[in-house]
């Protein structure tokens, strides 16, 4: 089905003022649907009061956050007033402005109909013409033409300032600082395990999702990781369409990390272009031969959990604070191809901290937990618990049996030593030979 094509003549109007030339732009993106933009534009200012416009700001800008700084003549320039216009033109709004005015409909054969617009609803239009009242129940086969763009409608979200300057200035740089929603970033990591599972290679990427309604060309890019306290901004009217993003380029140059207040900042150190409605991926880090440990944990379920542990230290070929994100774990098969074996999410992780990834459940490591004896009094209870761990693999393993023992407890008897992990958890490190079983039994007393 054809769509209605609506055209209009571009008449001389301040709505179509020439855009100010951009000198530079810097973008800081937070992982909380927030971007901070520093846009330096060159304006020609008249002496006294004049109006300047910025035509290509994001449709999801928060106009209450706009701050303007005159970089060369701060004492000579004053901002008297600011307006944010966001009533963007579309067919419905434009035709509403043309009620009782002349428009033209042209069909796909070039036949033209002129008339005064009486009503417009969806694809239905009613005209008054010299030959009478004409009704068009479906305008999808027509091109609709109007003389010009009515006052009050604009093609781009626009910031307008009333500026007072003590002198006429040409190409005066003004820095426009503002916040916008609709842009965020997150990190993803890929772990490639060595054949013996005792080391790994780690690759980190950041994905920047831009749906703010603007493209940032050749922007200096920074990313901030951390949880900021934010107050919801006051709402304002406007419909902002959000469409699915596209996969952007992958860049091999990684970020430089440093501290910022109580957060961490990642500086790309060069410019890049982030298009509207685009997901752009950039390299964050690469670490090779990171020492790791594979462990098995039995928590009372049927299968033992598989975890990969490693330390985020310089000694371990790492040491960069890691933003939160999903870590996908890969393992090389005998034919040389890497296969996906599980994933986990990490929180913001400072350097010198240990990272533990739950990869999945071990197919060949099983367990059973049974209460073999139980006695209770008005002030205590005593239970004897037996844990049977089964290893169906062709190699010896150690399975950590983790027990939640609650509060006010005492182990009266145990078939093997245990580690006290916390006030309410104990661990038995149980060696289980290949294709065999191993039992652990302990008696616990609770008092109250």
CA distances from 298 to 351, 370, 371, 395, 406 (A): 29, 14, 16, 18, 17
For residue 217, count other CB atoms closer than 10 A to its CB.
Answer: 12
Structure tokens at 422: 């916390």
The CATH number linked to 160 is 2.60.40
Residues 46 and 133 in one domain: no
Q: Where are the beta strands (DSSP E) in 181-277?
A: 183-193, 199-210, 216-225, 247-251, 256-260, 263-274
Residue 446 per-residue DSSP state: E
Give residue-wise pLDDT tens across range 318-350: 999 999 999 999 999 999 999 999 999 999 999
Among 146, 172, 193, the domain boundary falls at 146
Residue 264 CB: number of other CB atoms within 10 A?
A: 20
Closest by alpha carbon to 51, among 130, 213, 162?
A: 162
pLDDT tens-digit map of 206-241: 999 999 999 999 999 999 998 778 766 555 433 333
Number of domains making up the chain: 3
Instruction: Give me the domain span that covers residue 435.
Output: 377-447
State whether 60 and 159 are in the same domain: yes
Phi-psi region at 130: left, alpha or beta (left = phi > 0; alpha = psi -120 to 50): alpha
Partners of 40 in beta bridges: 24, 175
Query: Is the pLDDT assigned to residue 17 strictly greater than 50?
Result: no
CA 298 to chain CA centroid, Å, is 35
The verdict on pTM exceeding 0.85 is no
278, with CB counted inside 10 A (0-12, 13-18, 19+), is: middle
Q: How many CA atoms lie within 13 Å of 157's alpha carbon, on the beta-carbon side?
A: 18
Confidence of residue 150 (pLDDT cuts 50, 70, 90): confident
Measured CA to CA, the distance from residue 3 to residue 73 in angstroms comes to: 51
Within 74-227, where are the H helices? Answer: 91-97
User: Which residues fall within 8 angstroms of residue 314, CB to CB, at 6 or more apart?
Assistant: 351
* pLDDT band (50, 70, 90) for residue 4: low
The answer to whether residues 165 and 42 belong to one domain is yes
Question: Is 90 exceeded by the pLDDT of residue 15?
Answer: no
Are 168 and 84 in the same domain? yes
The SS3 call for residue 313 is coil
Yes or no: say if 69 and 198 are a contact pair by the CB < 8 Å rule.
no
d(C-alpha 443, C-alpha 125), whole Å: 85
Tens digit of each residue's pLDDT (9 = 90 or more) over 362-404 = 999 999 999 999 999 999 999 999 999 999 999 999 999 999 9
In a domain, 407, yes or no: yes
Q: Is residue 197 part of a domain?
A: no
């Amino acid at each position: 089905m054809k769509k209605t094509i609506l055209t209009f003549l571009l008449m001389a109007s301040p709505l179509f003022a020439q855009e100010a030339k951009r000198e530079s732009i810097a973008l800081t993106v937070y992982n909380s649907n927030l971007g901070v933009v520093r846009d330096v534009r060159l304006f020609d200012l008249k002496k006294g009061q004049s109006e300047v416009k910025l035509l290509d700001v994001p449709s999801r800008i928060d106009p209450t956050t706009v701050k303007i700084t005159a970089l060369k003549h701060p004492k000579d320039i004053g901002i008297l007033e600011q307006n944010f216009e966001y009533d963007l033109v579309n067919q419905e709004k434009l035709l509403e402005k043309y009620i009782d005015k002349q428009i033209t409909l042209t069909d796909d054969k070039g036949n033209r109909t002129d008339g005064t617009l009486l009503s417009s609803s969806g694809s239905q239009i009613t005209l008054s013409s010299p030959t009478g009242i004409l009704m068009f129940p479906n305008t999808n086969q027509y091109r609709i033409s109007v003389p010009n763009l009515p006052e009050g409608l604009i093609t781009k979200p626009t910031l307008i300032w009333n500026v007072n300057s003590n002198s006429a200035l040409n190409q005066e740089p003004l820095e426009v600082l503002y916040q916008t929603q609709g842009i965020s970033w997150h990190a993803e990591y890929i772990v490639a395990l060595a054949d013996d599972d005792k080391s790994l290679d780690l690759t980190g990427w950041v994905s920047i999702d831009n749906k703010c309604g603007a493209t940032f060309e050749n922007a200096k890019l920074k990313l901030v990781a951390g949880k900021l306290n934010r107050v919801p901004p006051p709402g304002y009217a406007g419909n902002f369409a959000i469409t699915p993003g596209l996969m952007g380029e992958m860049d091999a140059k990684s970020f430089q990390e440093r501290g910022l207040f109580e957060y961490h900042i990642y500086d790309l150190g060069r410019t890049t272009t982030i298009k509207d409605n685009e997901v752009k991926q950039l390299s964050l880090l690469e670490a090779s031969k990171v020492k790791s440990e594979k462990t098995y944990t039995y928590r009372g379920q049927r299968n033992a959990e598989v975890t990969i542990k490693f330390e985020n230290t310089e000694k371990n070929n790492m040491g960069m604070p890691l933003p939160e994100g999903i870590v996908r774990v890969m393992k090389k098969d005998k034919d040389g191809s890497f296969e996906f074996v599980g994933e986990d999410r990490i929180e913001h992780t400072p350097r010198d901290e240990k990272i533990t990834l739950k990869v999945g459940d071990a197919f060949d490591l099983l367990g059973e937990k049974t209460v073999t004896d139980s006695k209770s009094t008005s002030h205590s209870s005593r239970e004897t618990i037996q844990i049977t761990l089964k290893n169906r693999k062709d190699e010896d393993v150690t399975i950590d049996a983790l027990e939640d023992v609650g509060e006010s407890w005492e182990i009266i008897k145990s078939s093997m030593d245990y580690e006290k992990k916390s006030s309410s958890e104990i661990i038995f490190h149980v060696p289980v030979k290949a294709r065999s079983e191993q039992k652990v039994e302990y008696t616990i007393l609770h008092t109250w």
